[in-house]
Amino acid sequence: MNPPENYTLFILGAGANVPYGFPTALGLKNSICQNIEVIYNSILGNRDDISKNQKERQIQSFENFKDKFSKSPTPSIDLFLSRNPEFENIGKSAILLTLIKSEENNLANGVSLKEPNWLEYLFNSITNNLVRPEDYKLFNTNNIKFITFNYDRLLETFFVSAMHHTFYKYHSEVIEKVRQLPIDHVYGHFGFLSWLAAPTNDGSILDYGANCDYHQITSLIKNIKLIQDRETLENNHLKELVRNANRIYFLGFSYAEENLKLLGIPDKLNDTQKIYGTAFQNTFNEIKKIKFRLNREPARGEKSNILIEDCDCLTLLRNHF
C-alpha cells in the first residue's frame, strides 16, 4: 500500500456546527416539532395556486408528521425519514427551513463568534505564516480537506468571510482561493452559493441565510439526500480521501455505522495514519466502542494511532493539531 499523502482531512458531523448556532440532531428534531406551524405557513401561506381544501390537507400532513416524529424516540430526522418515506418531502422542507434560519442567525452574528471557536482556531493555525498582503495566494498550501455530513454552507461562508476580512484588498482573488478549498457534502446541501457557482436558472442557487419561497423549496430539497439514498451516495472519491489522508480529525461526529460505511471506514484506514476524534460527553465504554468501529483489526486490540476524547472540537484541535 502506498503511504498516505501529505494532507489533513476533517470529517464533520452536526456537533461541529453547534458553536455557530446550529442544532444537534436532537436539537433539530425539537426545533422542527416546536415550530411546525411556522414551517408550513412559510411553505403554504402565500400560495394561491392551490385551493383552500388542498392547503388544509397539506397542513394536516405536516401535523401528522409532527405527531409521529415527536413521539418517536429516534433523534435523527434523517433516520426517521428513511423509516417513513411518506414524509420525505415534508421532512426535507422542515430541515431546509429550520437550518436556513440557523444560517440567517449565524450571518447576523458575523459568521464567527466572539468567544474562541474551532474554525477560528484552525484558520489562524493555517494562516499564521501568511504575513504579507499577497500571501493570500498561499492559502491552503497546508493541504486541508473537508468531508461534511451537514447540509448548511457554514464552512464555505466562514472561510470566504475570514479570508476577505484578513486580505481585504484581494476580494475576488480570495473568493477564488476559497472556491478551490476541497469541501465535500456527503448528503448534499441547500443550494450553491452565488459567489461559488456559475449562474443557473434551475433554482439551485441560494445564498447563505437567504429566504426562499415555495417554488425554491421544491427545487432545493432535491439537493438533500437521506440515508435511504445509499446507492446514489456511494462515492469512491470520499473513500479515497479517507485512504490517502495522513491525519484525520472527526469533529462533532456521531460515528454512526451507516455514515462510516459511506466513507469506507474502517477498511480504508491504516496504521500509519494519525486519527483524532471528539466524543463529547460520551462514557468510557462508548468511546471504547467508537475506537472499535474505527479499527480494521479489532481482534488485535486498540490501535495507538486512534485517539478519541471526551472533549469539544476546539479542545481537540488545541491539544492535537
Q: Is 252 left (phi over 0), alpha (psi -120 to 50) or beta?
A: left
Residue 123 predicted with pLDDT over 90: yes
CB 218 within 8 A of CB 92: no
The predicted structure's pLDDT at residue 292:
93
Mean pLDDT of 176-188: 90
Average pLDDT over residues 106-132: 80
At residue 110, the pLDDT reads 61
Global pTM reads: 0.91
CA 214 to CA 12: how far, in whole Å? 30
Q: Is the pLDDT of residue 198 over 70?
A: no
Selected residue with higher pLDDT from 287 and 215: 287
Per-residue pLDDT band for 119 (boundaries 50, 70, 90) equals: very high
pLDDT value of position 273: 95
Do residues 205 and 197 make contact, with C-beta atoms less than 8 angstroms apart? yes
Q: What order of strands is seen across the sheet that includes strand 306-309?
A: 183-185, 144-148, 8-12, 247-251, 274-278, 306-309
pLDDT of residue 300: 73
Q: Confidence band (pLDDT; 50, 70, 90) for 1?
A: low
- The fold of 1-22+109-321 is Rossmann fold (3.40.50)
Instruction: Assign 235 a pLDDT band (cuts: 50, 70, 90).
Output: confident
Q: Mean pLDDT over all residues of the chain?
A: 88
- Give the model's confidence band at 201: pLDDT under 50 very low, under 70 low, under 90 confident, else very high: low
In this model, does residue 65 exceed pLDDT 90?
A: yes
Residues 162-187, mean pLDDT to the nearest whole number: 85
Confidence of residue 90 (pLDDT cuts 50, 70, 90): very high
**Residue from 109, 273, 260 nearest 186 by CA:** 260
User: Which set of grid coordinates corresponds to residue 55?
Assistant: 392547503
- β-pairing verdict for 247-251 and 306-309: unpaired
* pLDDT reported for residue 308: 97
Q: How far apart are CA 154 and CA 17, in angstroms?
A: 8
| Contact by Cβ (8 Å): 217, 97 | yes
Q: Say what the alpha-carbon torsion angle 236, 238, 240, 242 is, to the nearest 10 degrees.
A: -140
Give the burial class of 108: count Cβ atoms within 10 A of its Cβ; 0-12 exposed, 13-18 middle, 19 or more buried.
Answer: exposed
For the cut 80, the answer to whether the pLDDT of residue 236 exceeds it is yes
- Residue 45 has φ and ψ, to the nearest 5°, of -55, -45
In the chain, what percentage of residues exceed pLDDT 70?
Answer: 91
283 or 213, higher pLDDT:
283
**Is 175's pLDDT higher than 80?**
yes
pLDDT of residue 305: 92
Band the pLDDT of 234: cuts 50, 70, 90: confident
Per-residue pLDDT, averaged over 229-248, amounts to: 86
pLDDT in tens, 2-52: 666 789 999 999 999 998 989 999 999 999 999 999 999 888 877 777 888
What are the structural domain ranges in the chain?
A: 1-22+109-321, 23-108
